[in-house]
Amino acid sequence: MNGEEGTMNEHTDDQWIATLGDAIRHADPVPEHVLAGARAAFTWRTIDAELAELVFDSASELTGVRSETSARQVTFQAPGVEIEVMVIENGQRRIVGQLIPPSEVTVQLASGDSVVETQTDDLGRFTFNDVLPGPVRLSVLGSSGEDVVHTEWVLL
């Protein structure tokens, strides 16, 4: 094997795929109306899930300067369930919440391109650690993994 062959084989498959994807996006970008249609269709995948709307946000209730140690409180409601959430910032951003009435289920946190999940305890409590600032949405999943309730997207 000569030196040129060794250089060509140093790229991983992921690097080649990324390079090819960049070339295709540059040469033939997806039209905006197609992207908008895809985003709209994606939202319909959970149309059967109940939407929990924001009914309380302590950030809108506070006046003046907030202390760095104060926690932001947010409450969402949907028929038959309330999701109470506190955003705690003490070196790391944590989301601590509780479902009312309590139930042992899976709760997902969608933030940016990531989705993480956790299990509630017998009191319906859950925690997410190291949450990045930005828009988030919580989803409560049923026992078979189906979406039951989603919160509105909220900026935390």
Instruction: For residue 108, give the 3-state DSSP assignment.
Output: strand
Other Cβ atoms within 10 Å of 58 Cβ, number: 15
DSSP state of 26: H
The per-residue pLDDT for range 15-68, each reduced to its tens digit, is: 888 888 888 877 877 787 766 666 655 555 454 567 788 888 887 765 555 555
User: What is the pTM assigned to this prediction?
Assistant: 0.63
Residue 154 near residue 73 (C-beta atoms within 8 A): no
pLDDT value of residue 1: 47
The per-residue pLDDT for range 71-105, each reduced to its tens digit, is: 899 999 999 899 999 999 888 899 999 999 999 99
Give the span between the Cα atoms of 18 and 38, in whole angstroms.
22
- 49-155 topology per CATH: Immunoglobulin-like (2.60.40)
pLDDT value of residue 10: 74
Locate the domains of the chain by residue range: 3-44, 49-155
